[in-house]
Amino acid sequence: MNYNKLYQRFIESRPLRIKKSNDGLERHHILPQSLGGNNKKENLIALTPREHFIAHIILTKCYSGLKRSKMVYALMRLTKGNGFKMTPRRYEVVKKIASINQKKRMSKWFKENREQFVESLKNRNIDWKKHKESHNTFKYKELMKQRAKENWNNLTYIKKHRAGLKKKDYSSIYTKDVCLERSKWFLKHTNKRKTLKNRPNCPSCNTNQVCSNGINRFGTRSFRKYCTPCEKKMGRRNTPNWLVLEKSMVAHNL
């Protein structure tokens, strides 16, 4: 069926009406604004709500590709704004098409206008002190820990993470200037370099140095009793979740 001819016949068959305030009629753009239509009298027609809804349904079938996605989005906006009733099956189809095409459009827009978007975020009136306080609460930290555990127990997340690490060029990110700034910051804010120089040797092998166990509640750095290879031999150190997942991925050829 030729839906373009059907749409033209439908518009031509409607009687000429003059829109007045609170008369129940709605203005409809014959050629939609998203497709290059204007607000001139030649491109406007007054329709009843039922006719307006039918016109937008036909428009979704007239076009394909990006134009169709725009018409689907217009139909969604029309149903939400004016309270039109839609069948469940049609609503499901329209919602799926709208969500898929909205993702494509937003990703394309973000690539083209990334710098402007970052500048707009900087110029926003945000109270950063309150923002930091809300993110330093105990509930927020516990929530983030739970999310991290769920992510690292998911094979698809690990695959995406590794693919992203392979694509990154760390030589361009961590230049000499960046490394010097980081080392200065660590020397100012921590005593890590001083304490790690004086690490004790492992009592069992007397060759490897013992790893640090973090800073105690007293503010001093503590060390483990044995080195990592000796702890693995004794069975004290458990295998982490990511290593178990990696073995399972290799076994299943993922």
pLDDT, tens only, 93-106: 777 777 777 777 78
102-154: per-residue pLDDT in tens? 777 788 888 888 888 878 877 777 777 787 788 888 888 889 989 988 888 88
Decide if pLDDT at 169 tops 60: yes
9 and 107 in a single domain? The answer is: yes
Q: Does residue 148 lie in a domain region?
A: no
Based on its alpha-carbon atoms, the radius of gyration of the chain, rounded to whole angstroms, reads 32
Q: Which domain holds residue 61?
A: 3-112
Mean local confidence (pLDDT), 60-86: 77
Measured CA distances, 240 to 148, 152, 158, 187, 192 (Å): 14, 10, 14, 30, 25
Domain boundary among 83, 112, 141: 112
In the predicted model, is pLDDT for residue 87 greater than 60? yes
In a domain, 188, yes or no: no
How many CA atoms, within 13 angstroms, populate the side-chain half-sphere of residue 235?
0
- Does a structural domain hold residue 123? no
How much is the mean pLDDT over the chain? 77
Per-residue confidence (pLDDT) for residue 246, from 0 to 100: 60
